[in-house]
A and B are shown apart, each in its own frame.
Chain A
Amino acid sequence: MRPESPENHTDMFAYYFQLGLRSLRRNPVLTALMVMAIGFGVAASMITYSVFRAVSGNPIPAKSERLFTPQIDSWGPQQNIQGEPPYALNYVDAMALMRAHRALRQTLLYPLWLSVSPEGGRSLPVGANGYAAYGDFFPMFEVPFRYGAPWSAADDAHHAAIVVLSEALNQHLFGGADSVGREIVLGGHAYRVVGVAGHWDPKPRFFAVWGGSNGFQRDPADFYLPFTRAIDLKLDTAGNNSCRGKPDFSGWEGWLRSNCVWITPWVELEGEAEAARYRGFLESYAADQQRAGRFAWAPNVRLRDVMQWLDYLQVVPPESRIALVVALGFFVICLVNTVGLLLAKFMRRAGEIGVRRALGAPRRQIYAQYLVEAASVGLAGGVLGLLLTALGIGGVGVLFKPQIARLAQLDFPLVGLCLAVAVLATLLAAFYPAWRAAQVQPAWQLKSH
């Protein structure tokens, strides 16, 4: 046995590592059991975590606390959603908020579905999905631009026939060239291209959670056009429309005057003070409506920021949360199992430990030796876990809806996390067995040999 000098740490570490590997080879079955337990445990946790991370993340971290969606109760206590205002605005209230213009930036939006006429009339038309919005939409949500720029407030005011394309639709229609100034036909109406957005598809799509696959839409948006123009052309919403009472209207104009909600508003507010002021404005607007006899109830308004809104609409699918919890429970059991197996493995070598202790090795060294051995088991488990995670993420489409499964990715942080969790968890599991090993009484062990 080599001399044990506490000064020579790296040497001892390497030596313990070798000892560990040798010991692992001595009981291949036990070792395989431990490595597999850790591998499966860490892989199950990582796969479900990768999905959970994707669906529960903040889609716009830099601004999420400055973006708010106002809600106004236009249905009243008998017909609202258990005391909460409807999830969207009707046309009358939406336009009133826009006219008041109390926010730094503001937009209304609703989803559209339009046909794109093929060039030259040869191939079949294709469908495209997009949003009707105000020009503030783009700076508010930090939409990157490949070509051109957002449209202006004047364009909104003039109900301009203009459009911002996504990179994908620009690729489809113009082969990716700078199409600013060109014309396209959507749903039978011509629009002039003013900009092409770069790749932009926040997940969840926080600004269109209500009535849009709960924020996990199948395809990214293809185009954006002015809200005012869309209303002129009577472009129907491709999203939800929810009414109360006995709607007695017929046709487009009647619908705009009805209590049907279908428009999502967003405002950008600088800081808490301004948010409080805006909340006050919503209160006073609702109070005005009550006084005017439009609402027969006291003001009931909300102003939720991005994360509060996602939380309120329960965007994280319960499946992904249950799966994560079950996988973590599974990992805990794997660790308990590892504690037992390590204990068996270490205590089997009580005689060996007795000899080392009798030759003068302090308890610290015994600790170190067995923790290093455990860490090497953990590392092996982590590598196995990584392989299983990669396989699992490839097959995660079996477990979740495709638009959610697609979000799970094995990236660099996940690889690091997987290995780190495997090693740290195994070390944690090894503390008690290593402590027991270090408690071995040299004299007692030597006696029976």
Chain B
Amino acid sequence: MQIKPILAALRRHKAGTVLIVLQIALTLAIVCNALFIIQQRLAHLSEPTGIDEANLFVIANQWAGGSLSTAQIDAQIRADLAALRQLPSVRDATPSNSYPLRGGGWDNFVALTPEQVEPTSDAAVYLGDEHLLDTLGVKLVAGRNFRADEVGAIGLRENVVPSVVIVTRELAERMYPGGAALGKPLYAMSATPSTIVGIVERLQTQSVEAWQAAYAYQSMLWPLRQAWPIGLYYIVRAKPGQLDAAMREAPRALYAQSRQRILDPADGGSFAEIRRRAYDSDRGMAILMGVICAVLLAITAAGIVGLTSFWVGQRRKQIGVRRALGARQRDILGYFLTENLLISGGGVLLGVLLAVAMNLWLVVRFAMPPLSLAYVAVGVVLLLLLGQGAVLAPALRASKVPPVEATRSV
């Protein structure tokens, strides 16, 4: 295939050529970045919490009716838990201050010594009793669970730092690299140490937003019941396959204990719901980018079909002349395919530059990670194929132009 005559012909159609090049370049820039955003959001969406989500649900329990002492609230909590654990559909239950994917909550700085001013790291704080591990379904990989006699109550604005703590492996490694954390002290914004008595495999912090990404799996468990006047969460683990039954029975069991409470329907719920809420904006972003990519590729393809059809129409006479002079249908088809490949090639070259520029802007403005070149490569192949696909129909039509066209109306 001769490229020179194609280039000569393109010079006669500067405007159309430039437009297709521009359109392909812009499409490539947006599609690469959009695919990258989609991949990032989907990867984010599938990060595990480390807990037995399929069988867990959360009840947001707020106390109603006014001033109760810490002891009164704690007594009510213990009665509630006994009632929950007795339900036939329930495997275990724990009181807590929060739950993974909640969107935020209690964090403490952690340090290796009491004198340390600059903390070693940050960690999420989950409160619970000796049933916390079994309820969440997190795996203890070293050490032991809390003993019932270690669990206490924390009242309004009390500053209780427990003497024992269970941490995630991620936090253990951060504090004491090399698996040496068990039995070591940890200072969680306090002058007194908490001894690491257990290490669990994995437990996500309370937010999946970017600000918590630096310590996404650094959590610690404290043996405390949150006896605050405002309320607490009950995390309940149903027996396998009995989640629906447990979710029906648990509120009834709580109201049977006392009606002076409000169970917030907009907070907590099953983990399917909680997960959906937590990743609302990520899922939305992935859908938006997906729709925009699809429509964009369709519109670009339509544009190529439109302009190429126009060119074929314009050049019927010249095609007829070429056919009359001995060009085969294959040659005509090849001509238009090659022409499109040249134009698309120019488009993707410019597009790669635009894609990288757009990504740089996103990196600077929205702190997104830099675009991996694999996405650019995928985008380039996608657009070259799209161009060839779009040009096929007009090119086939061009190849069907009969040689007799050369003799018409000249």
Contacts and interface: CB of A to CB of B under 8 A. Distances in A.
Interface of A: 30, 33, 36-37, 40, 44, 78-79, 113, 115, 117, 124-127, 185, 187-189, 218, 233-234, 236, 238, 243, 245-252, 254-255, 317-319, 321-323, 326-327, 329-330, 332-334, 336-337, 339-341, 343-345, 347-348, 398-402, 432, 436, 448-449
A15 B67 CA distance: 81
Contacts of B187: 246
Nearest to A338: B303
Nearest to B157: A255
Contact of B288 (A189, A254, A333, A399): A399
Contacts of B189: 243, 245-247
B312 to A, nearest CB: 11
B23 A337 contact: yes
Contacts of B33: 326
Given A40-B295, A322-B285, A117 B309 contact: no
Interface residues of B, number: 68
Interface string B208-234: 000000000000000000001110000
A97 to B, nearest CB: 22
A30 B23 contact: no
Contacts of B288: 323, 326, 399
16 contacts: A44-B295, A125-B65, A126-B262, A127-B262, A218-B266, A246-B191, A247-B190, A321-B366, A326-B34, A333-B27, A336-B19, A340-B16, A340-B307, A341-B306, A343-B310, A400-B284
Interface of B: 15-16, 19-20, 22-23, 26-27, 29-30, 33-34, 37, 62-67, 114, 117-118, 155-160, 187, 189-191, 228-230, 255, 259-262, 264, 266, 280-281, 283-285, 287-289, 292, 295-296, 299-300, 302-303, 306-307, 309-310, 313-314, 358, 362, 366, 409-410
Contacts, number: 178
A432 B15 contact: yes
B227 to A, nearest CB: 12
A400 B409 CA distance: 61
Contact of B299 (A79, A243, A333, A432): A333
Nearest to A78: B117
Contacts of B159: 247-250, 254
A344 B285 contact: no
Given A236-B228, A332-B26, A252 B303 contact: no
Nearest to A34: B306
A391 to B, nearest CB: 12
A33 B63 CA distance: 60
B302 A37 contact: yes
A125 B159 CA distance: 30
B262 A330 contact: no
Contacts of A125: 64-65, 259-262
A330 B30 contact: yes
Contact of B63 (A78, A115, A246, A329): A115
Given A247-B159, A401-B281, A340 B64 contact: no
Given A115-B64, A254-B159, A329-B26, 17 more contacts: A36-B299, A78-B117, A115-B65, A115-B262, A188-B67, A218-B266, A246-B191, A248-B191, A250-B157, A322-B37, A333-B296, A336-B22, A337-B303, A340-B20, A343-B19, A345-B310, A398-B284
Given A125-B65, A322-B285, A348-B313, A327 B292 contact: yes
Nearest to A234: B156
A19 B190 CA distance: 82
A399 B30 contact: no
Nearest to B260: A125
A236 B157 contact: yes
A341 B307 contact: yes
Given A44-B292, A188-B65, A322-B362, A339 B19 contact: yes
Nearest to B189: A246
Contacts of A317: 281
A127 B266 CA distance: 12
A252 B295 contact: no
A33 to B, nearest CB: 5
B285 A448 contact: no
A40 B306 contact: no
B340 to A, nearest CB: 14
B157 A400 contact: no
Contact of A251 (B26, B30, B67, B156): B156
A400 B366 contact: no
Contacts of B62: 113, 115, 127
A236 B30 contact: no
Contacts of B283: 398
Contacts of A343: 15-16, 19, 307, 310
Contacts of A347: 310, 314
B67 to A, nearest CB: 6
A345 B280 CA distance: 44
Nearest to B21: A336
Contacts of A40: 295, 299
B306 A319 contact: no
Contact of B30 (A37, A79, A333, A401): A333
